[in-house]
């Protein structure tokens, strides 16, 4: 994969927090496939190459957590027409012979806890962990991830003094156990969603936010230079799609995802949507080690 992160890629859309609260929205919209066109995605996959039984006839129902710039370009389900994960879903819909993608915006915490079930596949920059694997079924991994350190511009925070600072993550992400059990900052604060996480940093409530490197790069870009990503910690994490436990579609979806990896489709989606959204290559962010 072209980019690396820690989970789940949320962004320029923090300014639209009222439109897309991460914690509770469950709205949905459909982007018609009309003759092989799914939103603004340029579909390259082979139609009818996988066989699934969708929860809703004729459409692929996908859950995600908005906002997620680069991954889902828009702030509401109705506005999404492009992005890495949206177009990945569109490719899978085309492969399954479905003519549309229905997007549902749900709480990330609910999603990884397996508390939602009326969907075919969930794509939300979700790190695969043993704990989550007990309550949901994960797909073949499709993206590598590290944990990035987002701070105010010119803060002077380094890998040598970060543990003396106040660190923050948001509920349900793998950044929570990282700052609490591994980094062990002087103070830790856990927020309910990405928007409050970023606002806490901008307002000076905390010194540093911890989230996937790709995601915080996009957020730094969206602030016009107020925030910057100063480092990242290698975690070996990978993103995977989530299926409802026991889904009969799992093998076919995994076949489709592996095809998108092998034929270079996902690499192309990275170049098309993630690079411009992030304003930088995650691999260029300095690697920090815990002192």
Task: Give the mean model confidence (pLDDT) for residues 122-130.
Answer: 95
Domain that holds residue 228: 146-236
DSSP 164: G
Same structural domain, 95 and 203: no
How much of the chain exceeds pLDDT 70, in percent? 87
Residue with tokens 């003519």, as numbered in its chain:
99
In contact, 61 and 104? CB cutoff 8 Å: yes
Q: Is residue 290 part of a domain?
A: no
Same structural domain, 130 and 265: yes
Domain count, the chain: 2
pLDDT tier at 140 (50, 70, 90 boundaries)?
A: very high
Query: Can you tell me the distance from the alpha carbon of 71 to that of 109, in angstroms, rounded to the nearest whole number?
Result: 18
Name residue 143's beta-bridge partners.
239
Q: Picking from 27-41, 130-144, 159-173, which range would have the lowest pLDDT averaged per residue?
A: 27-41
pTM over 0.85: no
Residue 20 or 138, more confident = 138
Same structural domain, 36 and 103: yes
Residue 224 or 8, more confident = 224
Task: Give the mean model confidence (pLDDT) for residues 201-209.
Answer: 98
Same structural domain, 137 and 156: no
Q: Tell me what pLDDT residue 283 has.
A: 75
Q: What is the dihedral of CA 148, 278, 171, 205, to 10 degrees?
A: 70
What's the CATH number where 132 sits?
Answer: 3.40.190.10
Task: Give the mean model confidence (pLDDT) for residues 234-239.
Answer: 90
pLDDT tens digits, 13-36: 332 332 233 333 433 334 433 345
């Amino acid at each position: 994969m072209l980019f690396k992160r820690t989970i789940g890629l949320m962004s320029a859309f923090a300014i639209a927090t009222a439109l897309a609260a991460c914690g509770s929205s469950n709205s949905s919209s459909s982007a018609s496939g009309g003759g092989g066109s799914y939103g603004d995605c340029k579909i390259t996959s082979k139609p009818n190459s996988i066989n699934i039984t969708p929860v809703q006839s004729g459409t692929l129902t996908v859950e995600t957590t908005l906002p997620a710039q680069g991954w889902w370009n828009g702030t509401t389900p109705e506005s999404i027409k492009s992005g890495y994960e949206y177009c990945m879903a569109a490719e899978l819909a085309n492969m399954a012979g479905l003519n549309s993608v229905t997007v549902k915006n749900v709480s990330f915490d609910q999603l990884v806890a397996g508390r939602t079930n009326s969907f075919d596949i969930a794509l939300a920059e979700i790190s695969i962990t043993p704990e989550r694997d007990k309550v949901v079924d994960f797909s073949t991994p499709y993206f590598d991830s590290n944990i990035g350190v987002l701070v105010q511009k010119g803060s002077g925070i380094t890998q040598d003094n970060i543990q003396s600072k106040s660190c923050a993550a948001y509920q349900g992400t793998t950044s929570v156990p990282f700052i609490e059990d591994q980094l062990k900052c002087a103070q830790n604060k856990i927020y309910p969603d990405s928007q409050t996480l970023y606002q806490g940093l901008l307002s000076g409530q905390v010194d540093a936010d911890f989230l996937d490197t790709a995601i915080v790069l996009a957020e730094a870009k969206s602030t016009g230079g107020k925030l910057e990503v100063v480092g990242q910690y290698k975690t070996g994490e990978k993103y995977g799609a989530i299926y409802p436990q026991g889904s009969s579609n799992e093998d076919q979806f995994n076949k489709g995802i592996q095809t998108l990896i092998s034929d270079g489709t996902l690499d192309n989606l990275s170049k098309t949507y993630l690079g411009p959204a992030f304003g930088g290559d995650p691999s260029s962010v300095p690697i920090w080690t815990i002192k």
